[in-house]
Amino acid sequence: MPRNDNAKKPPLTVRLASPRGFCAGVERAIRTVEEALALHGAPVFVRHEIVHNTHVVARLSAMGAVFVEDLGGVPTDRPVVFSAHGAPRTAHEDAASRKLMKIDATCPLVLKVHSQIRRHVSAGRKVILIGHRNHPEVIGSMGQAPEGAVILVETLDNIAALPDFAGPLAYSTQTTLSVDETKDMIAALKARFPEIAGPAREDICYATSNRQEAVKAAAKTCDLFVVIGSPTSSNSVRLVETAKAAGAADALLLEDAERFDWTLLNGVNTIGLSAGASAPETLVEAFLTALAARRNLRIDHIETAREDVVFNTPHRLAS
C-alpha cells in the first residue's frame, strides 16, 4: 500500500494574493535589457539596478548586463539602459553630451509624474512631492526641475512644518507608496493649501494599488503573511505594512525560500503570500514548494483584480 506522506504533515492554509509579482513596467524594463543583449551582445550597461530585485539583477548580470551608478565608465560604443525608476534630467543630458547609445526603460507611469512636475514648474508652481528620500524614483522626479522647485515630504509632520508659500502650488507622489497613507497626506496638503493643484488621477500606479488591495483581502485571517521581494523594493515594503494594517498577526519581507526561518511556522495554521512588483513568480513557486515539503497545503486563491496592461518596448529597440 503506498505511503501517504501528506497525512503525516500538519495542515497549512495558504491565502495566495492575486495580483502579485511583476507589473507591466517591470516586465518592460527586464525585456528591454534582454532585447538589448540579444541585439547588441554583451556587455550592455544599465544605470542603476533595472528593478529592485537581487535575483533579477543576478540573472541579467550573468547574461552580460553591467550595472553602474555613474555613466562615466560607460564606453561610447556600448548601449546603456536607464532603469524603470527613472532618472534626473542631468543623467539624460550627460548621456546626450557623451553621445551614449541610451535606451530609456523608465516606467511610463513614472514618466507621467516627470511630465506633470515639469509642466507645473513651467507654469510657475512650486511642487510638493510625496515620497521616500533617496529612493531612485524620487531622485529622478525631483531632478526634473531646478533645485528648490520641488519639495519632498515624507510624513504628516513634514507637511505641518511647511511654510506658507506665497505662490501657486502643486503636488505629485512617488508611484509605489501606501495608498492609504498617501490619501492621508494628500488630504493634509489640501487642508493646508486649499488651492493646491494635483493630478487628474492619482500618481500611485495601478499595480501598486492592486497588490495592496489583494493583500488587504488575503491578510485578514492570517497568522503570518509573507511578501516575496527585496528590501530595496519600496512597493514590497509597503505590502508588508499593508498586511499588518489589514489584520495579519505578523508579516515579513522575504527575498527567497532559502532565507526563511522555518521555526516561524510553529503555531501557524494560515499563512498569506504575495510578491512585490519586481519579484519573479518563480520565487513564489519555490516558497510554495518548500512549504509543501513541510506541511499539507490547502491553497485559497484570493483574487481582487485582473491585469492585462502591457507597455511597448522602448522606441530604440522597437522593430
Q: Judge whether 79 and 44 are in contact, CB under 8 Å.
A: yes
CA 261 to CA 259: how far, in whole Å? 6
Given 137, 202, 281, 303, the catalytic residue:
137
How many helices (DSSP H) and strands (DSSP E) are in the chain?
A: 11, 12
- Residues forming a β-bridge with 79: 101
CA distances from 194 to 7, 113, 165, 189 (A): 63, 21, 12, 8
Instruction: List, in sequence order, the alpha helices (H) in the chain.
Output: 5-8, 24-40, 54-63, 89-97, 108-122, 136-142, 156-160, 179-192, 206-219, 234-246, 281-292
Residue type, 149: A
Length of the chain: 319
C-alpha cell at 161: 512644518
In the residue annotation, 27 being an active-site residue is answered as no
Instruction: Work out whether strand 65-68 and strand 11-18 pair parallel, antiparallel, or are unpaired.
Output: unpaired
Beta-carbon count within 10 A of 48 CB: 20
Catalytic residue numbers read 137
